[in-house]
Amino acid sequence: MSVHELDTFLLVGSAVTLCAILAVRLTSLAGLPSLLAYLLMGVVLGESGLGIDFDNAELAHALGFAALALILAEGGVTTSWGSLRPSMRLGISLATVGVAVSVAVMALGAHLLLGLSWQLSVLLGAVTSPTDAAAVFSVLRVVPLPRRLVGALEAESGLNDAPTVVLVTLISSGGVHDHPWYVVVGIVAGELVGGIVLGLLVGVAGAWLLRRAALPSSGLYSLAVLALCFLGYGAAAGVHVSGFAAIYVAALVLGNAELPHRQVTRGFAEGVAWLAQIGLFVMLGLLLSPDTLTWPIVGEALVAGLVLTFVARPVAVLIAMLVQPLGLRGAAFLSWAGLRGAVPVVLMTIPMAEGEPGAGRLFDLVFVLVVVYTLLTAPTLPAAARLLGLAQPLDPRAFELEVAPLERIAADLLQITITPRSRLHGVEVGELRLPRGASVSMVIRDGESIPAEPRTVLRRGDDLLVVAPRALRERTERRLRQVSRHGRLAGWVS
């Protein structure tokens, strides 16, 4: 690449990135994942639009895996283990048993209804079975749901890439024909378990190291966490276990460890993941040739999507829920919330890079399926949650909370704004009964600071500054929310 070409790339790349960032606002208002806007940008920039010619499946495969690794790292770093733990069994079951059931049902449906060979039918089932964390949570962020549902969806999306990548690779390379089905299952399970174990080792060792390192800048901690996550990914690939499982688990451990500058690290990881999403979806849009999208392919995509949405996914959820039942309403929502995003399209680059016969046509089919059924299901998720009685109403007595780290004393500064209907109004500071070690340092009222004495009475619109050691952070928040909902007597009667 010459300097002139670099200048042109930076100009176009920065313009596309800025447009993609602004598109997030529009898609969020419409209740759609931003991936649809990014895919459309790629199609517009491609050979049928502005004329950028990109058809290198091997490069798309490599860049796609790198972007997915970044997205999984961000998912692990920003996920609370407390919200994930209650639904971990169901999440693992959905990512393993659920994926296997979905692959089987989709393969049978594709073979019988679309007339695809068993090779392509199983391949279609494998690439369309995993859900996409970026697609799911860009929509679910606007819907307050029970923690057990959010935890199950998050665990599934973080872990189901690993077994499907192994399966798609085996199918594309012809390795699946060399072994009985139970050996293939053993290979997939072994790679998944190996990746999880390696990710745990890297995460625990990395957290131990960073707690004892005295780095001169908060930004270095962010880079170190990301480097450790990719160390897990690379080490897993080197010993032939799942790199995706390793990077997600390592990031989950590091994101929940008591490390310096955790908030800065999470913000950095989120920004990098957004950049990875933008680049990934625009690249996949470039890879598509709209001229090849014939009506027969669109029809096949609609049929495959019907089987996936209304047969394969519900059956997979019901069977996976045997380990941790959530009721019919929970099963219905989990079935409808199984959004497919970049993952199926990226997985299709594996057989394309291997030169699998029929892979190009299958890529177009999967692309159409993802776009159409994301447009169908994503905007209706809030309504589905309300219809099923799962959407939790916003608590009018809750307060607004912001957090800033105090790294030198291993504490957090909580800024609480007392909302009009919060029952913190009229409560004295001494009646808060915060955990020993946490304290109200200041009350700000009408722009003026008031000393926080035990007899200071809190009012609507006040801002409280509370200092809490990190070990007491959750207990302090829980106590403040308790008083905000139930008043000064909260907690006296259990």
- Write out the H or E segment, with its range, that includes residue 167: helix 161-173
The 3-state DSSP class for residue 427 equals: coil
Question: Which position has the higher pLDDT, 27 or 123?
Answer: 123
Length of the chain measured in residues: 494
Considering the domain architecture, whether residues 404 and 478 belong to the same structural domain is answered as yes
Which residues span the domain enclosing 448? 400-486
> Which CATH number do you get for residue 347?
1.20.1530.20
Residue 246, domain member (yes or no): no
Considering the domain architecture, whether residues 309 and 363 belong to the same structural domain is answered as yes
The burial of 214, by beta-carbon neighbours within 10 Å (0-12 exposed, 13-18 middle, 19 or more buried), is given as: exposed
134 to 9, 34, 97, 131, 276: CA distances (angstroms): 26, 9, 22, 9, 11
Q: What is the mean pLDDT of the chain?
A: 85
- The Cα–Cα gap between 239 and 349 comes to 23
Residue 493 has pLDDT above 60, yes or no: no
- The Cα–Cα gap between 36 and 22 comes to 13
Residue 429, domain member (yes or no): yes
- Write out the H or E segment, with its range, that includes residue 411: strand 411-417
Q: Are 249 and 255 in contact (CB under 8 A)?
A: no
Considering the domain architecture, whether residues 447 and 373 belong to the same structural domain is answered as no
Considering the domain architecture, whether residues 9 and 144 belong to the same structural domain is answered as yes
Considering the domain architecture, whether residues 304 and 422 belong to the same structural domain is answered as no
The partner residues of 400 in beta bridges, in order of sequence, read 417
Residue 322, domain member (yes or no): yes
Residue 154, domain member (yes or no): yes
Number of domains in the chain: 2
**pLDDT per position as a tens digit, 149-208:** 888 888 888 888 888 988 898 888 776 666 777 788 888 889 899 999 999 999 999 999
Residue 364 has pLDDT above 60, yes or no: yes
Question: Which position has the higher pLDDT, 30 or 270?
Answer: 270
Q: What band does 408 get if pLDDT is binned at 50, 70 and 90?
A: low
| Mean pLDDT of the 43-57 span | 79
- Write out the H or E segment, with its range, that includes residue 403: strand 400-406
Handedness of CA 391, 392, 393, 399 (dihedral sign): negative
Which of 387, 410, 429 terminates a domain? The answer is 387
Residue 433, domain member (yes or no): yes
Considering the domain architecture, whether residues 366 and 438 belong to the same structural domain is answered as no
Considering the domain architecture, whether residues 88 and 145 belong to the same structural domain is answered as yes
Question: Which position has the higher pLDDT, 109 or 288?
Answer: 109
| Mean pLDDT of the 110-118 span | 92
Considering the domain architecture, whether residues 23 and 149 belong to the same structural domain is answered as yes
Residue 77 has pLDDT above 80, yes or no: yes
Which of 338, 356, 387 terminates a domain? The answer is 387
At 138, which amino acid appears? S
Q: What's 312's DSSP letter?
A: I
Which of 336, 357, 387 terminates a domain? The answer is 387
**pLDDT per position as a tens digit, 10-19:** 888 888 888 8
Considering the domain architecture, whether residues 57 and 32 belong to the same structural domain is answered as yes
Residue 393, domain member (yes or no): no
Considering the domain architecture, whether residues 181 and 320 belong to the same structural domain is answered as yes
> Which CATH number do you get for residue 456?
3.30.70.1450
Considering the domain architecture, whether residues 357 and 480 belong to the same structural domain is answered as no
Q: What band does 402 get if pLDDT is binned at 50, 70 and 90?
A: low
Residue 161, domain member (yes or no): yes
Does the global pTM surpass 0.95?
Answer: no
pLDDT recorded at residue 494: 40
Residue 27, domain member (yes or no): yes
**pLDDT per position as a tens digit, 211-262:** 888 777 778 889 999 999 999 999 999 998 999 999 999 999 999 887 877 7
Considering the domain architecture, whether residues 424 and 308 belong to the same structural domain is answered as no
At 18, which amino acid appears? L
